């Protein structure tokens, strides 16, 4: 009922998992099923022979939980999580900063923003501008008319 090629792909996909199985349900074994099972056996025998010839013992991979979690998120979501983590860190540091240090940080951010703008790096300049507005809002409770909601 399914094409031989589709069955081979589906069975092959299942074979990539350590305990993967492909269960074929049908009233009868079709020609495409026979051919797919035959091809799968041929490939399996070829892989086993190759592994034996090269001293390879197949085993499942072991990943850290963090690697698995990172794989779930897109790169953009990972970057957003990192940005939020860094922002939380800055908030914690901000609570411990003196007024003089806060003023220095504001000047540093303003300088970075202008530098990015001068270099035509407008996205980075906008990010720094938003960071600056959040900092001013957090410290002073006001940010002036140039604030863009983040």
Residues spanned by the domain of 32 = 4-53
Is 84 a member of any domain? no
- The residue whose two tokens read 């006001």 is 142
Give the pLDDT score at 150: 45
pTM of the model: 0.41
Is 87 a member of any domain? no
Number of C-alpha atoms within 13 angstroms, CB side, residue 91?
9
Residue 129: how many CB atoms within 10 A of its CB? 22
Is 89 a member of any domain? no
Q: Give pLDDT tens digits for 86-120.
A: 777 776 677 777 788 888 888 989 999 999 899 89
Is 133 a member of any domain? yes
Is 69 a member of any domain? no
* Per-residue DSSP letter, 100: H
* Per-residue DSSP letter, 148: -
Q: What angle do CA 109, 113, 119 make, to 5 degrees?
A: 145
Is 37 a member of any domain? yes
Give the pLDDT score at 103: 85
Is 108 a member of any domain? yes
Q: Give pLDDT tens digits for 19-41.
A: 888 888 889 999 999 999 999 99
Give the pLDDT score at 77: 62
Is 47 a member of any domain? yes
Question: Domain boundary at 23, 38, 53, which?
Answer: 53
Domain count, the chain: 2
Indicate the angle between helix axes 31-53 and 4-15, nearest 10 degrees: 40
**Residues 79, 75: Cα–Cα separation, whole Å:** 6
């Amino acid at each position: 009922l399914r094409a031989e090629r589709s069955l081979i792909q589906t069975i092959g996909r299942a074979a990539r998992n350590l305990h993967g199985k492909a269960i074929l349900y049908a009233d009868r074994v079709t020609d495409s099923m026979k051919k797919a099972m035959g091809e799968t056996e041929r490939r399996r025998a070829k892989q086993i022979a190759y592994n034996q010839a090269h001293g390879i013992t197949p085993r499942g991979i072991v990943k850290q939980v963090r690697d698995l979690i990172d794989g779930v998120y897109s790169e953009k979501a990972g970057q957003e999580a990192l940005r939020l983590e860094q922002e939380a860190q800055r908030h914690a540091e901000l609570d411990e900063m003196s007024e003089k240090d806060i003023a220095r940080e504001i000047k540093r951010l303003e300088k970075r923003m202008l530098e990015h703008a001068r270099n035509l790096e407008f996205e980075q300049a906008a990010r720094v501008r938003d960071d600056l507005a959040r900092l001013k809002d957090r410290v002073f409770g006001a940010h002036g008319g140039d604030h863009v909601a983040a």
